[in-house]
């Protein structure tokens, strides 16, 4: 699922000033990289990344203003390409007349910000990387347990939402139920959130839809959370061999990121909420360097060696 980001989103989210009134604010911003066209303004447009948002700072504006009028107009025409989403001027610098004429004629938005160039580029880059990050929607429940973002998956009716409800009652925080929108914001980093339509809602079969924030308070929910562990619930199969020691660690690949995966068989009498809590605590222990299964194996090996001696 690709997020479509428009120039009008930048205008609103960064409180920018629009210099061309009759312009196309529905132009799409398709890449998170920005362009500060210094070498292009000197006349070298061979590798001009026209599909990027163009940023003009004090240096660029001062250089342009020092060019002859005819050269300045030629450079502005080369700067304003059909696929250029918008041009943003930093530091409240005045826009060259030639730029306004060409951009307004081609309906390319010219925006202005009072922020200095470096600071604005930093803020805009972070914003674009988050907004344009690859996304995927997965059927499941995302919950924050002891600071660990756990994605609970499994077939319909297996008990994911009921487990989440019990965890919320035990003081943990719900992020999303039924549909989890996952964004890959960086390498090996997945951020999960709920679609706005079902945010803070939990569906319990036989009971219906409940609002977790209304029932349990604002401390029972989170807007988003980094996913670090996947727990898959499946019906107990007596013919299947399940992991008993925890030495073999499975992985689940979501987009380009592999996440540790634990499969938990469901049968009457198993307290799934407690198992999820223990899985979260055990995951944190592993991060700190303690692995219970490996310690047990080491003890067993040592005992066997002593027996042989």
Question: Which residues fall in the annotated binding site for Mg(2+)?
Answer: 161, 203
Does an H or E element contain 103, and which? helix 97-105
CB atoms within 10 A of CB 298: 11
CB atoms within 10 A of CB 296: 13
The catalytic site residues sit at 139, 160, 178, 244
E strands present in the chain = 5-6, 17-18, 28-29, 34-35, 53-56, 87-89, 110-112, 135-145, 148-154, 173-186, 189-193, 201-204, 208-211, 224-226, 229-235, 250-254, 257-266
Contact 181, 195 (CB under 8 A): yes
Sequence-separated (6 or more) residues with CB below 8 Å from residue 167: 143, 145, 174, 273, 276, 277
DSSP, res 221: B
Question: Which residues fall in the annotated binding site for ATP?
Answer: 154-161
Among 41, 40, 2, 6, CA closest to 23: 6
Torsion, Cα 209 213 214 215, to 10 degrees, reads 80
In the chain, what is the straight-line distance between the N-terminal and C-terminal CA atoms, in Å?
A: 62
Sequence-separated (6 or more) residues with CB below 8 Å from residue 186: 129
Q: How far apart are CA 99 and CA 112, in angstroms?
A: 13
Question: Which residues fall in the annotated binding site?
Answer: 154-161, 203
């Amino acid at each position: 699922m690709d997020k479509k980001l428009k120039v009008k989103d930048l205008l609103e989210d960064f409180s920018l000033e629009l210099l061309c009134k009759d312009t196309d604010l529905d132009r799409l911003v398709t890449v998170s990289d920005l362009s500060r066209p210094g070498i292009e303004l000197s006349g070298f447009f061979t590798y001009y990344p026209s599909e990027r948002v163009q940023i003009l700072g004090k240096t660029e504006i001062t250089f342009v203003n020092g060019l002859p009028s005819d050269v300045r107009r030629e450079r502005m025409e080369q700067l304003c390409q059909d696929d250029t989403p918008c041009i943003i001027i930093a530091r409240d610098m005045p826009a060259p007349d030639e730029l306004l004429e060409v951009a307004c004629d081609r309906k390319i938005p010219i925006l202005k910000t009072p922020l200095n160039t470096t600071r604005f580029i930093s803020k805009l880059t972070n914003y674009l990387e988050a907004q344009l990050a690859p996304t995927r929607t997965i059927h499941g429940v995302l919950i924050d347990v002891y600071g660990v973002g756990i994605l609970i998956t499994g077939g319909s009716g297996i008990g994911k939402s009921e487990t989440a409800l019990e965890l919320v009652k035990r003081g943990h925080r719900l992020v999303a139920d039924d549909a989890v929108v996952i964004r890959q914001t960086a390498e090996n980093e997945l951020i999960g959130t709920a679609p706005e339509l079902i945010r803070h809602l939990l569906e319990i079969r036989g009971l219906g839809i409940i609002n977790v924030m209304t029932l349990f308070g604002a401390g029972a929910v989170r807007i988003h959370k980094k996913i670090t562990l996947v727990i898959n619930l499946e019906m107990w199969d007596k013919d299947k061999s399940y992991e008993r020691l925890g030495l073999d660690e499975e992985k689940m690949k979501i987009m380009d990121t592999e996440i540790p995966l634990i499969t938990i068989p469901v049968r009457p009498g198993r307290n799934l909420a407690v198992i999820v809590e223990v899985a979260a605590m055990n995951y944190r222990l592993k991060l700190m360097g303690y692995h219970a299964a490996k310690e047990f194996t080491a003890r067993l090996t040592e005992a066997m060696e002593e027996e042989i001696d």
